[in-house]
Amino acid sequence: MATKVMVNIPGENTYSVRIGAGLLAGLGAHVRDACGIQGVGRALVITDSNVAPLYRAAAKASLAEAGLRASDIVVPAGEESKSLEVLGEVWEAMAGLGLSRDCVVVALGGGVVGDLAGFAAAAYMRGVDVVQVPTTLLAMVDSSVGGKTAVNLEAGKNLVGAFKQPAHVCADTSTLDTLPEREWRCGFAEVVKSAAIDSDDFFFWMADHAEALAAHDADAVAEAIARCVVFKADVVAADKTESRGVRECLNYGHTLGHAIEKLAGYGTFTHGEAVAEGMRFAARLAQDAAGASAEFVQAQDELLDALGLPALDWTADPADLLDAMKRDKKARGGHVRFVLPRDVGDWQLAEVPDEGILAHLRAWAEAKQG
Ligand code: NAD
Ligand code: GLY
């Protein structure tokens, strides 16, 4: 049984996100339908070197069955593929394959492939359709929906990109069977983020289902994905280009999280592990700066613990962490901004003065050392 969520963003074509086990088999028919392809169409599957041996054949077979001529490009797995160099290679390969404006790009993989292929589609011949086929939990709950695409520069992550909404999203949850455990936890961090920002209903549903989720129970996982997609679709509908002070809520936990990733050295902690720590920190900061309760902080800690995201046994010099936060692209005019939860489902975007951040970072570091 598939769950279907419709994403209706003002000024964009409405698209469907289908969530369920075994959906890859029906991918071709949905691509044809979503992209309005008549006759023999051309599809390009962009995937990575880990995902290709697992799911490329099934994706291409389904596209072929629907009468689409499918080619593929495989990029090396990992964040390094979100580069101008790889993007240039993808565009050259697309031109070499003779793809024209009516082709459709199928992004088969995690957030790296989704962001890279989405940007490739956004600019190739000034824009061709993209269908997102997320194969990581993080990509299913977050990156495949909402249209942010980008590659990294030496100067920082995601510095060049475009908003490119997909024509369709196909989240085949059976692809998660091969996902490494650490990548599951990466996705869980974003699920907790969504639940804490969204509502009591989602947050307490998570608390009730944490054990089932940690055990990868198929029904619980599918429901968590659907809840995240509904939440994200609403946020993006309210603030498509992150210019209205709403979409920023999706950065909850990311202010300290990004600084941890950078100072610890990329790859030391996963993005999810760093974001989980960032949410623990932001919740404590919010106790002082936004009136969050001790009960909220504790409930979030317990949920993260239950999903295998314990507090990190790592610290750094508070001054270095503050400096890293100020250099982040989310900072404005040298001021660090935090998404602060006042309570479950209630948040504010706040510029916190340096002294307040430093005091909390010192307490955070001392608690770990003590
Ligand atoms: P990823 O794409 O690197 O995937 C993680 C690892 O899992 C990779 O090694 C990949 O090859 C492997 N993998 C993927 N699917 C698999 C499967 N089913 N079985 C086995 N292995 C599999 O990482 P990610 O966590 O999915 O995405 C991170 C990226 O997403 C970052 O670049 C981040 O900036 C981006 N992101 C984008 C948005 C957005 O809104 N566009 C939101 C959040 C994150
Ligand atoms: N994950 C951040 C966003 O889509 O805005």
Ligand 1 neighbourhood includes 173 CB (under 6 angstroms): no
Q: List Cβ neighbours of 125 (8 Å cut-off, separation of 6 or more).
A: 100, 101
42 backbone dihedrals φ, ψ, rounded to 5°: -115, 135
Positions marked catalytic: 126, 148, 190, 232, 242, 247, 251, 254, 258, 271
Ligand 1 neighbourhood includes 198 CB (under 6 angstroms): no
CB atoms within 10 A of CB 86: 18
DSSP character string of 280-342: HHHHHHHHHHT---HHHHHHHHHHHHHTT-PPPS----HHHHHHHHHHSTT-BTTB-EEEEEE
Task: Give the C-alpha separation, 130 to 164, whole Å.
Answer: 8
Asked if residues 260 and 312 have their Cβ atoms less than 8 Å apart, the reply is: yes
Task: Give the C-alpha separation, 284 to 360, whole Å.
Answer: 8
Ligand 1 atom closest to residue 115's alpha carbon, by position in its atom list = 41
Ligand 1 neighbourhood includes 178 CB (under 6 angstroms): yes
Band (74; pLDDT cuts 50, 70, 90): very high
Q: List Cβ neighbours of 257 (8 Å cut-off, separation of 6 or more).
A: 271, 274, 275, 276, 277, 278, 279
Q: Quick one: pLDDT at residue 366? A: 93
pLDDT digits over 125-175, tens only?
999 999 999 999 999 999 999 999 999 998 888 999 999 999 999 999 999
Band (331; pLDDT cuts 50, 70, 90): confident
Task: Give the C-alpha separation, 237 to 57, whole Å.
Answer: 34
272 backbone dihedrals φ, ψ, rounded to 5°: -65, -40
Asked if residues 313 and 368 have their Cβ atoms less than 8 Å apart, the reply is: yes
| Residue range 26-52: mean pLDDT, rounded | 97
Tokens at residue 113, please?
A: 């492939």
> Is the predicted pLDDT of residue 101 greater than 90, yes or no?
yes
> Is the predicted pLDDT of residue 240 greater than 90, yes or no?
yes
CB atoms within 10 A of CB 320: 13
Q: Which residue has the tokens 């989310």?
A: 330
Backbone region of residue 127 per phi and psi (left: phi > 0; alpha: psi in -120 to 50; beta: other values): left
Task: Give the C-alpha separation, 290 to 294, whole Å.
Answer: 12
Q: Which protein residues are within 6 Å of ligand 2, measured from CB?
A: 142, 146, 148, 247, 250
SS3 346: strand
Beta-strand relationship, 129-134 and 41-48: unpaired
Ligand 1 neighbourhood includes 144 CB (under 6 angstroms): no
Ligand 1 neighbourhood includes 354 CB (under 6 angstroms): no
Tokens at residue 34, please?
A: 């979503």
What's the 198 CA to ligand 1 centre distance in angstroms? Answer: 23
333 backbone dihedrals φ, ψ, rounded to 5°: 55, 35
Q: List Cβ neighbours of 155 (8 Å cut-off, separation of 6 or more).
A: none
Q: Quick one: pLDDT at residue 66? A: 97
pLDDT digits over 259-297, tens only?
999 999 988 999 999 999 999 999 999 999 999 999 999
Ligand 1 atom closest to residue 187's alpha carbon, by position in its atom list = 25
Ligand 1 atom closest to residue 49's alpha carbon, by position in its atom list = 11
Band (355; pLDDT cuts 50, 70, 90): very high
Asked if residues 113 and 82 have their Cβ atoms less than 8 Å apart, the reply is: no
Tokens at residue 72, please?
A: 């593929």
What's the 145 CA to ligand 2 centre distance in angstroms? Answer: 9
